[in-house]
Structure 1
């Protein structure tokens, strides 16, 4: 076989880019608006200003298929709709580039690595457990994007791969988010719709949280050790850090200078201020972006970096994450098409019709699995709650399923498939920042999702059998 033929064969089997995958899904979504009957539920606004559907109000409406121009303009609508998160990603990328220029993060990580020499598992456990707590509190699900660069640098210092770096932060946060033991936007909102006491059932949720997070950390450590012992067993063996500049961490001075220490303290203070703002001042991603812009300016002042150099570093950092930022809008455009085609409510209504004849145990499991499938399209936690919980609450009563179980079936269903759906802007942004192809991430994450589903199914069955109440 000639060299030219070999080259052609390699090109033939090249994995499609994430944007190509999403565009194909966008086309399929547009086609579905011609096939699935259009339908709509009536909506009402809650005291908190959230629009929820009115049960038993579903009716079919005239078909509203998406035209060719609507298909392409949906990408623009998706970019506009995801603008807040898109610009947050760009801001975070720019800020971390400014901070990295000081060498503070590299030195801190090397110092930490040296202290946990030959005990990398302990470092993975501590970092992932910390982020799982933030995820369970609903603080840092979408905001996990901000910490992906640190996770990747940490993984490189431990001689692992980018998948480990993303997992420590992202899977740590989302294992806690999936349970949502004190998350006001998922568990709290769903309980409000189900009319059960806010954050009731906390003790059992904490048990589930420990099991899910424990299984997640064990899985990450297993993979990390596998890669550490034999780099060829990495799913990214050909290029373990696709988006990270090739540089040795061996030359990094683990001794922190006073300037670097001050920069790190300012970074921690900024994050602490944001956490306080989330709980006390109802802050969102706009305030987070503002804090990161302030951090870049303060870092430049502390390190005596010139204004022009700061701007240059900031823009270089933003360029590195531009791919991941724009993919958020691309993922959102698919939901725009399905919403404009008025088919999402039809899907929810069909789920309700299918579930009604089931027994309580099988019905609860079906709710759990059905929510996971629905979350492949609607990845917003509160958005999904607003759509499915008004239907699932009366349905649970009819099937003798405790409302507390219905809430948890929604929460787990919403959380578990977030880490594999290409329609999740957060996932695709994280992967793009790390340079991990979605197909390779899927190969890594699918077994973990399977483990989560086994644990979740057992939990759902037990809670139905014990008639888990609102206590």
Structure 2
């Protein structure tokens, strides 16, 4: 069986393969543990309003130092795996389901059609993915679940003769372009505006323009990368029109693909109407695997074996999520996250409104390296930053946008993001190589963030 996970194939460079992202994350974990002994411990008083617990501005106070001991580091890894179980199983079941689906031959026929088609050029493919995943990202329908679609992007890239980096980016970056400027995402924009006492999804005008700019820049970036790959010799595979060894697409293949599509669409509908998440999507992929296998006339044992084989091929990308979560656990238990927030808020308070907005954006970005959860960071920062913004003359809409944009772009470069590290592991892409690749895009996105924040300050972006 052919797996969709390139990393599962034998490596010609075992020395390079050993330098896995686990090593980088473990080094960061040790640094975080050392920080719990060096950074003064402190916590904000917490209060609960409308079922949401958040920090009380000005209440930071010192507490007893709670440094992480060597054993605590390994306990944090175990807890990270435990708390990340829904995402981990989603990744595993994604690999299993796609392995079964691919073994039916249905995907092969469709991707071969894409490779043959002269109408679907590189730009058309990028545009389709950007529109679909940009919308799914900005509405919050596909967030953690983006990992489930990455192997599909890689299959498409392979079918047109492009490398895994392009395939991963085709799904992850287009989704991030929408998610980073979430227009109607209740878990990020909705929650953050609620904490700032703003009307739900208010300020959609400037936020929508920012989101459109992110998506357009992403399309241009991927188009230029695809052209560079073509110049470097990555060409579409030449597939003869008549191939004696080729099995033409049958009605059964189309039924299998229709079944898989309906399954994914059903999850999207459930996510929008019933708040489905990772657990439900994991179940949908298991359902897809069994249904596709039966429609493809595979035996029960063959379905099970291919499913398990697909899971094993993607195991590295699954377990790395728990390692990334362990870093946040160490910082939280060490009681130093609140202290860091307190220091940053003191630096921002005396600044000019425009500079304060940019300062909030930068500090929120820095904090997101430690707090991988956007909603968790908002509940910590917004109660602190809103009073500061009020004092320096920022509208609350600007304060909210500064925090949201800071959280957003860091997701694409943070080694503590379990989703990013999982995506890279699925694609077999080293973290250092990813940083070099995505740096120009992040630089342009960061410039857009700063420009739109300054515009928001100058236009007194509201309603308040």
Whether TM exceeds 0.5 here: the answer is yes
Q: Deviations over 1:245-304 (max 9, x none)?
A: xx9977795953211111111111111111111121121111111111111111111111
Q: Distance in 2 between matches of 1:353 and 1:255?
A: 67
Q: Secondary structure at the match of 1:37?
A: coil
Whether the 8 Å contact between 2:317 and 2:421 is mirrored in structure 1 is: yes
Whether the 8 Å contact between 1:160 and 1:231 is mirrored in structure 2 is: no
Q: Distance in 1 between matches of 2:297 and 2:380?
A: 51
Q: Distance in 2 between matches of 1:86 and 1:14?
A: 22
Pick from 440, 451, 458: which aligns with 2:444?
Answer: 451
Alignment match, 2:20: 17
Residues 426-437 of structure 1 mapped to structure 2, 5 A cutoff: 426-437=419-430
Whether the 8 Å contact between 2:138 and 2:178 is mirrored in structure 1 is: yes
Q: 1:305 to 1:416 in 2, by over 3 A?
A: same
Q: Distance in 1 between matches of 2:341 and 2:249?
A: 55
Q: TM-score, normalised by structure 1?
A: 0.91
Alignment match, 1:36: 39
1:272 maps onto 2:265 in alignment: yes
Q: Distance in 2 between matches of 1:299 and 1:405?
A: 48
Q: TM-score, normalised by structure 2?
A: 0.93
Alignment match, 2:379: 386
Alignment match, 1:192: 194
Whether the 8 Å contact between 2:77 and 2:326 is mirrored in structure 1 is: yes
Q: Deviations over 1:178-209 (max 9, x none)?
A: 00001000000000000010000112211111
Alignment match, 1:60: 62
Alignment match, 1:407: 400
Whether the 8 Å contact between 1:179 and 1:411 is mirrored in structure 2 is: yes
CA deviation after TM superposition for structure 1 residue 123, in Å? 1.1
Alignment match, 1:85: 87
1:284 maps onto 2:284 in alignment: no
Give the unaligned 5+ runs of structure 2: 1-12
Pick from 433, 443, 460: which aligns with 2:453?
Answer: 460
Alignment match, 1:3: none
Alignment match, 1:7: none
Q: Distance in 2 between matches of 1:145 and 1:155?
A: 16
Alignment match, 2:144: 142
Q: Distance in 2 between matches of 1:43 and 1:318?
A: 41
Q: Deviations over 1:101-132 (max 9, x none)?
A: 11212222222343344721111111122101
Equivalent residue pairs, number:
448
Alignment match, 1:371: 364
Q: 1:288 to 1:398 in 2, by over 3 A?
A: same
Alignment match, 1:176: 178
Q: Deviations over 1:337-356 (max 9, x none)?
A: 10110101111111111100
Whether the 8 Å contact between 2:42 and 2:339 is mirrored in structure 1 is: yes
Alignment match, 1:127: 129
Q: RMSD value over aligned CA atoms? A: 2.0
1:203 maps onto 2:200 in alignment: no
Pick from 106, 110, 113: which aligns with 1:108?
Answer: 110
